[in-house]
Structure formats: C-alpha cells, structure tokens
Amino acid sequence: MSYVKFEKLSIKAHPEFNERWVQDRIAEDPYILGLGDVILKDKERIQPRAGRLDLLLQEADGNRRYEVEVQLGATDESHIIRTIEYWDIERKRYPQYDHTAVIVAEDITSRFLNVISLFNGTIPLVAIQMNALKTGDQVGLVFTTVLDQVSLGLVDEDEEVHETTDRSYWEKRGSKKTVALTDELLELVRKLDPTLELKYNKFYIGLARNGQPDIFVIFRPKKNWVSVEPRLKRSEETQERLETAGCDVMDYDERWSRYRIRLAPGDIAKHSDLLTELLKEAYHVAND
C-alpha cells in the first residue's frame, strides 16, 4: 500500500464542475453523505412559490426524510433561509414523516455555525462540509458532518400516543415465532429486574414494572424477525461492538435515541452476552 497525495479543488471555481454535477453524484449514491441507509426520493423538487429543493432523501427502513440543499463555496444567509424554508414546506405537506434540513457546502463558516447553534434543536438541522479531492485525472468527494442534529428532549417517552393491545394482536401483526423471541429477550431483561413484564402496545412491545412503563428497551416483532431497540446514546464504540459481533444492525433511531437490532430465530442465543450488556447499559441509564 502506497501513499497518494490528493489535491484539493474548489468546485465553485472549477470550469468543468458545478452544483448540478454534485447533485448527480449524491443522487447516484446518497450513502456518501453519511446520513445512513437513505434512498433518493426526489431531485429538483418544485416548491410552491419557493423554487426547487435540490434533493429529497428518505430512510430506507424508517420514516425520516432529509431536505438537502447543496451550495458551492461558503454558506451564506440566503442559503440558510432557503434550506429552512424548504424543510418547513415539506414537513407541513407530509407531517407523517420526521423531517431534517441538511445543508451541504464547501465551506461551513464559523459564523454559520454560531447562527445555526442558536436554534438547532428547535429546527432539526445537519451541516455537512464537502471537499473535492483530485489525484491524477480522478476526482472524488468527501463529506464530513460538522453539525449534527440535536434531538429535542421530552419529559418522558411516554408522551408517545399509546394504545394497549394484547399478545394475539402481535402474533397476527408479526408471527407466533417472533413474539416467542420477545419471551427470550424478556428472560435476558429479567436478569436485571425479575419484576419486569411485557406490555403490549399498538406500535411496539414495551416493558412494565407493577403496571408502570419502563421502556429502556422496546421490541417490534415482524413476520420472520424481531427488532430489539435499547435506548442508548449513539457511539462508535457501541456500533463497533455490534458490527464485530456480526449483528444485523438497522439505522439508529435519532428521534428516540435507540439502536435497532434485527434478530432472527437463533440470534438471541448467538449474541446473548452482547445483548445482555446492551440491555444492562440501557437499564442503568434509564433507572439510575
């Protein structure tokens, strides 16, 4: 393996490249932005009386959409306003999705960061710096998140709208074999607290202690697998532990700060030690 020196290019000043070229590269492979497993929903999306949204991306396995605006050169006030305006239009038109505004620029200035930090958390916004690097006659793009979305804090996650169901509801929505997997997971949880019981809700199976919810972890049975979702702050260490163990990890749930791990029959026994560790960490975060 040999060292290669890259030359940094200014796309704005380059005679061959432009903003449309950048949009096309992202549209071809949205994963390069570092937003997780997202797919292209629309490009140059017309906004009523407000121009065109560069790119609309959506989680492949989730309900979050990203309103992405690309700018060559440094960020400026008009670009900030336009990005927020497009985000606001989309969230009002499609309230069934969670929406995040994304600014992609060659230069994320300190002034921009200072302004955005004042309302980040009220407006979910991500800032990504883009660098074009050249070696020989080849050019590549590198995207670095310099401002991540700040999650809004809730008094309690129980502010979600709940509707109590029962085991048979989940055996129909999922299957008997995957609901049985939640029984296996409950046994792991009971090593931490033997008083915990499964609580069947419309959108997930949670936990309760003496009838009171304690949802440091939730379960979502599907037809052939179950998603176990411990509430933990996202970290590279936890992600590495999951990947090293060979776990089937879905996108991190930013809204509720949950890891989502897909488990098929046999996986719980295979990963019991790691699952027990994660459940223990989530339990102590929620109850200590």
Is 221 or 81 the better-scoring residue by pLDDT? Answer: 221
Distance CA(280)–CA(288), nearest Å, equals 11
pLDDT of residue 171: 94
- pLDDT above 60 (res 151): no
Are 143 and 130 a contacting pair, CB within 8 Å? yes
- pLDDT above 80 (res 252): yes
- Taking only Cα atoms into account, the Rg of the chain, rounded to an integer number of angstroms, comes to 22
- pLDDT above 60 (res 156): no
Sequence ranges of the domains in the chain? 7-147, 157-287
pLDDT of residue 239: 92
Question: What DSSP string describes the chain?
Answer: ------EEE-TTT-SS--HHHHHHHHHH-GGGGSSSSEEEEEEEEEETTTEEEEEEEEETTSSEEEEEEEEEEE--HHHHHHHHHHHHHHHHH-TTSEEEEEEEEEE--HHHHHHHHHHBTTB-EEEEEEEEEEETTEEEEEEEEEEPPPPPP-S-GGGS---B--HHHHHHHS-HHHHHHHHHHHHHHTTT-TTEEEEEBSS-EEEEETTEE--SEEEEE-SS-EEEEEB----HHHHHHHHHTT-EE---BTTTTB--EEE-TTHHHHTHHHHHHHHHHHHHHHH-
Pairing between β-strand 138-147 and β-strand 64-74 as defined by DSSP bridges: unpaired
Degrees, nearest 5: CA angle 69-147-129 = 55
pLDDT of residue 238: 94
Give the pair of three-digit tokens for residue 59: 């989680």
- pLDDT above 70 (res 149): no
List, in order, residues 6 or more apart from 238 with CB less than 8 Å away: 232, 259, 278
Half-sphere exposure for 179 (CA within 13 Å, toward CB):
16
pLDDT of residue 122: 78
- pLDDT above 80 (res 163): no
Q: Which architecture does CATH list for 7-147?
A: 3-Layer(aba) Sandwich (3.40)
pLDDT of residue 137: 84
Percent of the chain having pLDDT more than 90? Answer: 52
CATH 3.90.1150 is the classification of domain 157-287: yes
List, in order, residues 6 or more apart from 146 with CB less than 8 Å away: 108, 113, 127, 128, 129
pLDDT tens profile 9-66: 888 888 888 889 999 999 999 999 999 888 999 998 988 777 889 999 998 877 889 9
Number of C-beta neighbours around residue 22 at 10 A: 21
Half-sphere exposure for 229 (CA within 13 Å, toward CB):
23
Query: In this structure, what are the phi and psi dihedrals at residue 96, rounded to the nearest 5 degrees?
Result: -70, -10
- pLDDT above 70 (res 158): no
pTM of the model: 0.54
pLDDT tens profile 64-80: 899 999 989 888 878 88
pLDDT tens profile 105-115: 988 887 777 77
